[in-house]
Copies of this chain bind each other. A is one copy, B any other.
Amino acid sequence: MLKYSLPLLFLFFFNDVQAQRNLIPFVNPLIGTEKMGHTYPGATAPFGAVQLSPDTDTIPYEKDGKYNGEVYNYCAGYKYEDKSIVGFSHTHFNGTGHSDLGDFLIMPTVGALQLNPGIAADTKSGYRSAFSHHTEIAEPGYYKVMLEDDNILAEMTATTRVGMHQYTFPKSDQSHIILDLMSGIYNYDDKNVYTYVRVVNDSLITGYRQTSGWARTRTVYFAMAFSTSFFEYGQKNYDQRQVYNGFWGKFDQRKNFPEIAGKKIRMYFNFKTEAAEKIKIKFALSSVSQSNALENMNAEINDWDFEAVKKKTQESWNAELNKVIIDATDDVKINFYTSLYHTFINPTVYNDVNGQYKGLDQDVHHADGFINYSTFSLWDTYRALHPLLNIIQPSRNSDMVHSMMAHYEQSALHMLPIWSHYNNDNWCMSGYHCVSVIADAIIKGVYKGDPNLALEACLTTARHRNYEGVGFYTDMGFIPADKSGISVSNTLEYAYDDWCIAQLAKKLNQNTIYNEFIKRASNWENNFNPESGFMQPKLSDGSFKKDFDALNTNGQGFIEGNSWNYSFFVPQDPVKLIQKMGGNKKFISKLDSLFSMQLPDAFFAETEDITREGIIGGYVHGNEPAHHVAYLYNWTNQPWKTQSEVRHILKLQYKPTADGLGGNDDCGQMSAWYVLSAMGFYPVAPGSDEYALGSPAITNASLKLENGNTFTVNTDNQSDKNVFVKSVLLNGKILNKHFIHHSDIMNGGTLKFIMDSKPQKK
Contacts and interface: CB of A to CB of B under 8 A. Distances in A.
Interface of A: 98, 186, 189-191, 193-194, 196, 198-200, 206, 208, 210, 212-214, 216-217, 241-247, 249-252, 256-259, 261-262, 289-291, 361-364, 411-413, 418-419, 425-428, 466-468
Given A208-B362, A259-B411, 14 more contacts: A98-B244, A189-B242, A189-B244, A190-B241, A193-B194, A198-B361, A213-B243, A216-B245, A246-B428, A250-B418, A251-B466, A257-B466, A258-B413, A290-B361
Copies in the complex: 2
A244 B467 contact: no
Contacts of A241: 189-190
Given A252-B466, A361-B290, A244 B213 contact: yes
Contact of A261 (B186, B217, B242, B246): B217
22 contacts: A186-B244, A189-B241, A189-B242, A190-B241, A193-B194, A194-B210, A194-B217, A198-B361, A200-B412, A208-B362, A212-B261, A213-B243, A214-B246, A216-B243, A216-B245, A250-B418, A250-B427, A251-B466, A256-B466, A257-B466, A259-B413, A291-B363
A214 B466 contact: no
A16 B279 CA distance: 69
Contacts of A200: 412
Nearest to A291: B363
Contacts of A252: 466
Contacts of A193: 193-194
A683 B362 CA distance: 48
Contacts of A259: 411-413
Contacts of A251: 466-468
B412 A258 contact: yes
Contacts of A246: 214, 419, 425-428
B212 A243 contact: yes
Contacts of A98: 244
A244 B190 CA distance: 11
Nearest to A193: B194
A222 to B, nearest CB: 12
A289 B288 CA distance: 11
Contacts of A217: 194, 196, 261
A189 B240 CA distance: 11
A243 B191 contact: yes
A271 B241 CA distance: 40
Contacts of A291: 363
Given A259-B413, A362-B196, A412-B258, A216 B419 contact: no
A405 to B, nearest CB: 18
Given A241-B189, A249-B427, A250-B468, A362 B290 contact: yes
Nearest to A484: B249
Contacts of A261: 212, 216-217
A189 B364 contact: no
A245 B424 CA distance: 11
Nearest to A559: B249
B247 A216 contact: yes
Contacts of A191: 243
Given A250-B427, A413-B258, A468-B249, A194 B194 contact: yes
Nearest to A411: B259
A230 to B, nearest CB: 15
A96 to B, nearest CB: 12
A251 B465 CA distance: 10
A182 B471 CA distance: 33
Nearest to A428: B246
A80 B191 CA distance: 41
Contacts of A425: 246
A630 B468 CA distance: 74
Contact of A290 (B250, B262, B363): B363
Contact of A289 (B208, B290, B363, B468): B363
Contacts of A247: 216, 427
A190 B425 CA distance: 28
A242 to B, nearest CB: 7
Contacts of A250: 418, 427, 467-468
A208 B362 CA distance: 9
A199 B244 contact: no
Query: Quick one: which of A200, A246, A418 has the most chain B CB within 10 A?
Result: A246
Contacts of A244: 98, 186, 189, 213-214, 426
Nearest to A210: B194
A191 B245 CA distance: 12
Nearest to A248: B427
A258 B467 CA distance: 13
Contacts of A242: 189
Contacts of A210: 194
Nearest to A486: B249
Contacts of A249: 427, 468
Nearest to A467: B250
Nearest to A216: B261
A258 B361 CA distance: 11
A460 to B, nearest CB: 13
A167 to B, nearest CB: 25
**A186, A241, A242, A413 — which one has the most chain B CB atoms within 10 A of its CB?**
A413
Contacts of A362: 196, 198, 208, 290
A289 B364 contact: yes
Shortest 7 CB-CB contacts between residues of A and residues of B: A246-B427, A258-B412, A259-B412, A198-B412, A246-B426, A250-B468, A250-B427
A416 to B, nearest CB: 13
A413 B256 CA distance: 10
A377 to B, nearest CB: 13
A198 B360 CA distance: 10
Contacts of A290: 361-363
Nearest to A293: B363
A190 B240 CA distance: 12
Nearest to A255: B466
A719 to B, nearest CB: 46
Q: Name, among A412, A426, A468, the residue most crowded by chain B CB atoms within 10 Å (CB to CB).
A: A412
Nearest to A99: B244
A261 to B, nearest CB: 5
A246 B243 CA distance: 31
Nearest to A211: B243
Nearest to A469: B250
Contacts of A364: 289
